[in-house]
């Protein structure tokens, strides 16, 4: 009798790029991929924080390098990707939020959020896919549970993430014959430097924990296993879908 063999979660010999990698979820994704054996190109806008993060990974014995870029500057970002690539894995964790009542949204707010959360996500995925050619690869977009539900004061953010979910499905269909898998990870509220103000509000924390069925907010570590899975051969038949890491928020 021949027993089935669990596919490997290892990423040895693969090159990965992670945007938004200097802190928070992006940093967690970079660490997870590097721990699995990938060489990780860590990209972000702020050179000092990025260099510190990349140095910390290297000091831990992981393979990483820093690449300063602004994902909203598409020409420069695509040029940097082309010069540093090609990549077997592309994880886009760069994101922007400008929360507030929908009646107060300005055109500048709308354009700024869409430029980062949707426009750059589209064209950087396109650049990653070009580099992958016909040898396949994994493109992972860090989306949000708000790509599946609505939220008060989050109309623009929800619009960008719902768009990201639709874009991912279409790209997965188109690029599937080339062996390129395209998926999203959809976290709930994760404790990061960007969410400090949210978690400083006891009423907001109470509302969040009441919505999360597991009764706690998310930590960066909760995302790390998900990104390793989607990057590896363990998810070889997974494409065009969302891995929702929300503690049951969207189930209710």
Q: Which residues are catalytic?
A: 157
Distances (CA, A) of 232 to 12, 93, 156, 247: 10, 18, 32, 23
Task: Give the phi and the psi of residue 105 in degrees, each rounded to 5.
Answer: -65, 130
- Residue 42 backbone zone (phi > 0: left; psi -120 to 50: alpha; other: beta): beta
Tokens matching residue 160: 């960008």
100: left (phi over 0), alpha (psi -120 to 50) or beta: left
Burial 220-243 (b: 16+ CB within 10 A, else e): bebbbebbbbbbbeebeeebbbbb
20/176 Cα distance (integer angstroms): 26
């Amino acid at each position: 009798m021949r027993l089935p063999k669990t596919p490997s979660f290892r990423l040895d010999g693969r090159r990965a790029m992670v945007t938004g990698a200097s802190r928070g979820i992006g940093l967690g994704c970079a660490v997870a991929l590097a721990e699995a054996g990938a060489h990780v190109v860590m990209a972000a806008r702020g050179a000092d924080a990025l260099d510190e993060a990349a140095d910390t990974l290297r000091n831990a014995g992981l393979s990483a390098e820093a690449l300063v870029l602004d994902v909203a500057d598409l020409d420069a970002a695509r040029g940097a990707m082309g010069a540093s690539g090609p990549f077997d894995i592309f994880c886009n964790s760069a994101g922007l939020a400008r929360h507030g009542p929908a009646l107060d949204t300005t055109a500048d707010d709308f354009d700024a959020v869409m430029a980062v959360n949707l426009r750059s996500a589209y064209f950087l995925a396109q650049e990653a896919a070009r580099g992958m050619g016909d040898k396949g690869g994994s493109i992972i977009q860090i989306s949000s549970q708000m790509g599946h539900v609505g939220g008060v004061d989050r109309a623009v953010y929800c619009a960008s993430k719902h768009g990201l979910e639709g874009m991912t499905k279409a790209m997965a269909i188109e690029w599937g014959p080339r062996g390129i898998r395209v998926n999203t990870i959809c976290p709930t509220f994760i404790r990061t430097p960007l969410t400090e103000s949210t978690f400083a509000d006891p009423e907001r924390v109470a509302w969040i924990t009441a919505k999360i069925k597991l009764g706690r907010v998310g930590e960066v570590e909760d995302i790390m296993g998900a990104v390793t899975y989607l990057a590896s051969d363990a998810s070889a038949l997974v494409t065009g879908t969302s891995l929702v890491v929300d503690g049951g928020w969207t189930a209710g």
